[in-house]
């Protein structure tokens, strides 16, 4: 990993934002404006409407009629989000591209910052940064504008190793800008992975290219609402972990195959940890049961550990939530420092992710 100061570039590069849209017509104008208003780049937009049932296509064609930088592709039948992504990516002709959901926004100056990094380092195939979540209106201004603006670069295999060790997807998606050459080399999104295709895509890219990150500035605004495809509660985390493993298993076909074992350990550990929290907070035992089953499916050897056996006994006997996974005889008062320390660790990991892009 190398952290450097930015190098300014006067070259104006073309960047196309592919905006897939299904029934998000009311968000389209704001998403398009967030792209076309970017300074320092020649910005274009390709809207791909996946046979929306609302007025999305009308909104898209109206926007295109007023700005030649906007192109609209319309599906005659609903093809799903993976096909929508790939159709848009195939139509890009500029040097760089980004994939932005119709309900998300590109932060001011984000495309120029990402492009400058890739202009300076031709082996960087994708650049990401910090996204900020919002519900109604995006935050005004750049909350991290006082932080130093720096670049981080990883060798691709180095970045993959970190992702496997943590079992995490460090990227939401709208904050990524890619080199179109890299996209052409690795191909489109995998239709067999509708729930974790983005993680597999980053792994595929990093297996061939270096990875960059813009630090100290917000790069995208990610809208949180009930309609988000991957919004999760504990009750769906078991399935999410299984889908993540499918993405990591892409590495089985590469020289990085041994790293899949690290990903399995991390995912199993995460499943067990969430099961513990579910029990500690008096949650549903069936959710904890599903998480423990997922941990065993992901890493079969975890099922024979003392910790998991105790948790399974708790679930089966319906023991009270004050009993923790560390000791079946622990009292609730002993749980407080454990929960407190865990919350501190969570905050530390979050700050690491904000400032470094990995945690």
Clarify whether residues 55 and 88 are in a common domain: yes
Confirm whether 104 is domain-assigned: yes
- Per-residue pLDDT, 172: 87
Confirm whether 4 is domain-assigned: no
Give the residues of the chain that fall short of pLDDT 70: 140-145, 226-235, 318-346, 350
Clarify whether residues 28 and 134 are in a common domain: yes
What are the residues facing 49 on neighbouring strands? 21, 74
Model confidence pLDDT, tens digit, residues 90-116: 999 999 999 999 999 999 999 999 999
Write down which residue in 223, 257, 291 finishes a domain: 223
- Per-residue pLDDT, 241: 96
Tokens of 138: 């995006």
- Per-residue pLDDT, 90: 98
Confirm whether 212 is domain-assigned: yes
Confirm whether 8 is domain-assigned: no
SS (H, E, C) 308-340: HHHHHHHHHHCCCCCCCCCCCCCCHHHHHHHHH
Clarify whether residues 271 and 193 are in a common domain: no
Within 10 angstroms of residue 341's Cβ, the number of other Cβ atoms is 10
DSSP structural state of residue 137: S
Confirm whether 2 is domain-assigned: no
Clarify whether residues 92 and 117 are in a common domain: yes
The boundaries of the domain holding residue 28 are 13-223
Clarify whether residues 214 and 239 are in a common domain: no
Clarify whether residues 161 and 252 are in a common domain: no
Clarify whether residues 311 and 288 are in a common domain: yes
CA distances 321 to 96, 176, 284, Å, are 51, 41, 10
Confirm whether 329 is domain-assigned: yes
- Per-residue pLDDT, 320: 52
Per the structure, the count of domains in the chain is: 2
Clarify whether residues 84 and 33 are in a common domain: yes
Write down which residue in 202, 223, 244 finishes a domain: 223
The CATH number of residue 199's host domain is 3.90.550.10
CA distances 93 to 15, 42, 46, 327, Å, are 9, 12, 11, 59
CB 87 within 8 A of CB 99: no
Clarify whether residues 48 and 67 are in a common domain: yes
Cα–Cα–Cα angle for 35, 37, 43, nearest 5°?
A: 55
- Per-residue pLDDT, 349: 74
CB 130 within 8 A of CB 145: no
Write down which residue in 223, 243, 258 finishes a domain: 223
Tokens 């052409």, located at residue: 184
- Per-residue pLDDT, 326: 46
Clarify whether residues 174 and 282 are in a common domain: no
DSSP structural state of residue 305: S
């Amino acid at each position: 990993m190398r952290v450097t100061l930015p190098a300014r570039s006067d070259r104006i590069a073309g960047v196309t934002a592919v905006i897939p849209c299904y029934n998000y017509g009311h968000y389209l104008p704001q998403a398009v404006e967030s792209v076309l208003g970017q300074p320092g780049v020649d910005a274009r937009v390709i809207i791909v409407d996946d046979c929306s049932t609302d007025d999305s296509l009308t909104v898209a064609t109206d926007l295109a009629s007023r700005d030649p930088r906007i192109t609209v592709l319309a599906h005659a039948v609903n093809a799903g989000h993976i096909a929508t992504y790939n159709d848009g990516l195939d139509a890009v002709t500029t040097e760089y591209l980004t994939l932005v959901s119709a309900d998300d926004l590109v932060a001011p100056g984000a495309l120029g910052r990402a492009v400058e990094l890739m202009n300076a380092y031709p082996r960087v195939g994708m650049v990401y940064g910090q996204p900020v979540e919002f519900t109604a209106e995006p935050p005004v201004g750049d909350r991290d504008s006082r932080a130093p603006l720096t670049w981080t670069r990883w060798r691709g295999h180095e970045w993959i190793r970190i992702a496997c060790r943590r079992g995490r997807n460090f990227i939401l998606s709208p904050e990524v800008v890619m080199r179109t050459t890299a996209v052409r080399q690795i191909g489109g999104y995998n239709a067999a992975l509708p729930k974790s295709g983005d993680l597999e895509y980053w792994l595929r890219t990093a297996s061939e290219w270096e990875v960059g990150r813009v630090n100290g500035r917000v790069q995208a605004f990610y809208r949180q609402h009930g309609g988000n495809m991957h919004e999760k509660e504990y009750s769906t985390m078991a399935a999410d972990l299984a889908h993540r493993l499918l993405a990591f298993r892409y590495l089985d076909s590469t020289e990085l195959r041994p790293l899949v074992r690290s990903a399995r350990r991390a995912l199993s550990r995460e499943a067990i940890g969430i099961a513990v929290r579910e029990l500690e907070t008096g949650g549903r035992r069936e959710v904890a049961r599903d998480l423990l089953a997922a941990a065993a499916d992901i890493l079969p050897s975890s099922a024979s550990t003392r910790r998991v056996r105790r948790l399974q006994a708790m679930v089966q006997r319906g023991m009270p939530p004050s009993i923790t996974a560390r000791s079946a005889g622990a009292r609730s008062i002993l749980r407080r420092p454990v929960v407190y320390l865990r919350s501190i660790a969570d905050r530390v990991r979050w700050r690491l992710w904000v400032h470094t892009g990995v945690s």
